[in-house]
């Protein structure tokens, strides 16, 4: 029905030069390419992806979006990002299954409520819908929650953020890829970048796995979990620890969970996708690594946590679990830089597990950065220089602990 089945993104021959080369066929890379073509007319752009697009975090995340961050720097960015989804669906003529079901973040102590209050007050100050709710109101929002004191960490209350929600991660990727391709951007899958050529502190070309040299004055490192390896090719050591993170889904069920529920204390979150699966994730492995293998421990932990918070989930079955990589910076804020320390070399990475919700909006500003050479105001707080100056972002309240060095 409704016409032929055309390729969502075109196949093309790899040329020997481009105006811009984007390393990484994930959401950040593809979004940047899309906005470069759309907003700045820069269509001579190649996306080089080692595997297939969405192999990394873009296809492995659980697609929760929200704009209730802790710091004002992030609030601005994510608020705009959240408002972008409906627009993108129209613009790209692609249904990304945006479900603004609202997020409920649980607190399990007095201190937890205070921490949420800071986020709620900050959001409200910026005109973003977010409110503190007590345990009873949590139960009204999510009737399957157990708010009794049987829990190891009884629920004190939570932060309810109505405009947040979920999407389907791959469809976002496909939709933007389609849009980028229509505007002339070339997507090259199974094309690995092996090295970067830098002359006089300026990017000149990249070399692919099969030995082809591609000349370009601009390179974006948007390789997600592998971005530290790409930066190494430019002689830049990124302060990034890569940690495996796991997620899982249950069998599909009829709707019973209307919001994204998350609990920092239980290291668990869950929401029900439009397909009916309970999508849940857990925290990262406690040690760095580049494996996407899953472990026995985490799915068990997740079941322990979820069945305590929502006892009816005891009768729900897990169907599948998978792992991905989170590129974590020392302050859980991204690293966005360009022309520093190398001209023409741009970096958009270190998103950890926030890469999905931030992708299109960051792509929009990253495109501006790459087209003009000047960092837009909204991205300035994420410069790598902040680490040298000991000015960490306050997005996470306490120091991180990826290993004994933190």
Partner 1 sequence: MNRLTHLPTLRIQPSKALSLTYNKKRLTGVEGDSVATALYANGIRIFSRSVKYHRPRGLYSLDGESSNCFMAVDGVPNTRTCTTLLKDGMTVNPQNVIGTPEHDWLFFLDYFGWAMPAGFYHRHFHRPYVLWPTFRKWIRKAAGFGNVSKNWEGGIYDELHLNTDVTVIGGGPAGMSAALAAANQGLRIVLIEGRPWLGGFFEYSPEPYTLDIPRYERARELAREIEKHPNIRWFCHTYLMGLYGNHQITAFQKGGEKDYFDERYIEVRSQSVVVATGCIERPLIFEHNERPGVMQVGCAHRLARTYGLLPGTKAVFSVGHDQGLEAALDLHQLGLKIPAVADIRFDGQNPDLVDRLNKSEIRYMRGWVAGKVYGHHQTSKITLRSTEGTREESYDCDVVVASAGHTPVSGPLIMAQAKLRFDLHTGFFLPHRLPGNVHPAGRLWGLTDPHAIECSGMMAGLKAAADCGAADDNRLKDLKEKLKELPGPERGTKLAISPGKPGKQFVCFDEDVTVKNIYQACDMGFDVPELNKRFTAAGTGPGQWGIPGHNLPLVISKYHADSTIPPMPTTIRPPMAPTLMATYAGKRHNIFKRTPAHEWQEKAHAIFRRVGVWKRARYFSKDYSCKTEIETVHQAVGIIDVSTLGKFRLFGPDALKALQRVYIGDMSTVKKGRVKYSAMCNDDGCLIDDGVVTLTAENDYYFTTSTGRAGTTVEWIRYHTRYDGWNFHLVNLTDAYGAINLAGPKARKVLSELTDDDLSNEAFPFTGYREMTLAGKIPARVMRLGFVGELSFEMHVSSSMTGYLWKCLMEAGKPFGIRPFGLEAQNVLRMQKGHVIIGQESEIRTTLHDLGMGGLWYKKPESKTVGAVALKQTKHQKDRLKLVGFKMVEPSDPKRAPKDGSIIVNDTIRGHVCTARYSFILNEAIGLALVEDKYAGIGTQLEIFEDGSDHQRLHAQVVKPPFYDIEGHRIRM
Least spacing, CB of residue 374 vs partner 1, in Å: 22
Q: Is 235 in the site for partner 1 (CB under 8 A)?
A: no
Please tell me whether residue 243 binds partner 1 under the rule CB under 8 A. no
Residues within window 94-133 making contact with partner 1, judged by CB under 8 A: 94-99, 108-111, 113-118, 120-122, 124-125, 131-132
Between 35 and 318, name the residue whose CB sits nearer to partner 1.
318
Q: In this structure, are residues 96 and 388 in contact, taking their beta carbons and an 8 Å threshold?
A: no
Tokens at 111, concatenated: 């201190």
Using the contact rule CB under 8 A, the part of the chain among 20-28, 51-59, 193-201, 221-229 near partner 1 is 51-59
Distance CA 194, CA 234 (A): 11
Out of 275, 287, 290, 385, name the contact with partner 1 by CB under 8 A: 275
Q: Which of 12, 195, 232, 251 contacts partner 1 by CB under 8 A?
A: 251
Q: Between β-strands 45-48 and 186-188, what pairing exists: parallel, antiparallel or unpaired?
A: parallel
d(CA 291, CA 288): 9
Distance in Å, CB of 164 to partner 1, minimum = 15
φ, ψ of residue 243 in degrees (nearest 5):
-125, 135
Q: Any idea of the CA torsion for 239, 324, 357, 23, to the nearest 10 degrees?
A: 60
The footprint of partner 1 on residues 333-392 (CB under 8 A) is 389-392
x/- track of binding to partner 1 for residues 254-273 (CB under 8 A) = xxx-----------------
SS3 109: coil
Half-sphere exposure at residue 400, Cβ-oriented, CA atoms within 13 angstroms: 23
Identity of the residue, 45 or 159, whose beta carbon is nearer to partner 1 in the bound complex: 159
Rounded to a whole number of angstroms, the minimum distance from the CB of residue 390 to partner 1 is 5
Distance, CA of 136 to CA of 210 (rounded, Å): 61
**Pairing relation of β-strands 268-272 and 219-221?**
unpaired
Interaction of residue 62 with partner 1, rule CB under 8 A: no
**CA distance linking residue 364 with residue 379, whole number of Å:** 11
Q: Which of the ranges 18-26, 35-43, 88-96, 225-233 carries the binding residues for partner 1, by CB under 8 A? A: 88-96
> Which of 24, 158, 225, 330 lies at the binding interface for partner 1 (CB under 8 A)?
330
What are the CB-based long-range contacts (under 8 Å, 24+) for 388-394?
A: 392/330, 392/331, 392/333, 393/71, 393/73, 393/74, 393/331, 393/332, 393/333, 394/70, 394/71, 394/331
Q: Which stretch binds partner 1 (CB under 8 A): 60-68, 227-235, 359-367, 397-405?
A: 397-405
State the nearest-atom distance from the C-beta of 6 to partner 1, in Å.
7
User: Per rule CB under 8 A, is residue 162 in the interface with partner 1?
Assistant: no
What's the min distance (Å) between Cβ of 204 and partner 1? Answer: 32
């Amino acid at each position: 029905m409704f016409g032929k089945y055309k390729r969502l993104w075109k196949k093309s021959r790899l040329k020997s030069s481009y105006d811009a080369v984007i390393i990484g066929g994930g959401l950040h890379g593809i979004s940047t390419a899309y906005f470069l073509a759309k907003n700045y007319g820069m269509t001579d752009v190649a996306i080089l992806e080692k595997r297939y697009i969405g192999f990394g975090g873009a296809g492995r995340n659980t697609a929760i979006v929200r704009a209730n961050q802790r710091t004002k720097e992030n609030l601005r960015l994510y608020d705009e990002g959240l408002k972008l989804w409906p627009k993108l669906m129209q613009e790209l003529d692609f249904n990304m299954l945006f479900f603004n079901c609202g997020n409920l973040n649980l607190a399990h102590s007095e201190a937890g409520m205070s921490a949420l209050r800071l986020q709620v007050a900050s959001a409200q100050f910026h005109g973003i819908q977010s409110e503190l709710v007590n345990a009873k109101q949590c139960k009204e929002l999510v009737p399957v929650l157990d708010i009794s004191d049987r829990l190891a960490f009884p629920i004190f209350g939570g932060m309810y953020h109505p405009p947040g929600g979920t999407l389907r991660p791959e469809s976002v990727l496909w939709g933007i890829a389609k849009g980028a391709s229509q505007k002339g951007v070339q997507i090259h899958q199974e094309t690995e970048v092996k090295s970067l050529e830098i002359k006089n502190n300026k990017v000149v070309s990249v070399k692919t796995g099969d030995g082809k040299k591609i000349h370009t004055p601009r390179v974006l490192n948007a390789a997600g979990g592998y971005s530290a390896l790409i930066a190494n090719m430019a002689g830049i050591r990124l302060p990034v620890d890569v940690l495996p993170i796991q997620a899982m889904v249950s069998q599909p069920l009829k709707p019973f969970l209307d919001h994204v529920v998350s609990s920092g204390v239980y290291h668990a979150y869950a929401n029900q996708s439009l397909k009916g699966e309970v999508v849940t994730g857990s925290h990262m492995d406690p040690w760095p690594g580049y494996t996407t293998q899953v472990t026995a421990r985490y799915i068990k932990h997740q079941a322990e946590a979820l069945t305590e918070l929502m006892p009816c989930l005891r009768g729900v079955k897990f169907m599948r679990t998978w792992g991905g990589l989170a590129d974590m910076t020392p302050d859980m804020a991204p690293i966005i830089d360009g022309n520093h320390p190398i001209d023409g070399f741009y970096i958009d990475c270190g998103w950890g597990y926030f890469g999905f919700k931030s992708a299109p909006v960051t792509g929009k500003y990253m495109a501006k950065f790459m087209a003009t050479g000047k960092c837009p105001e909204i991205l300035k707080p994420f410069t790598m220089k902040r680490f040298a100056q000991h000015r960490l972002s306050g997005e996470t309240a306490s120091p991180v602990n990826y290993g004994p060095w933190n």
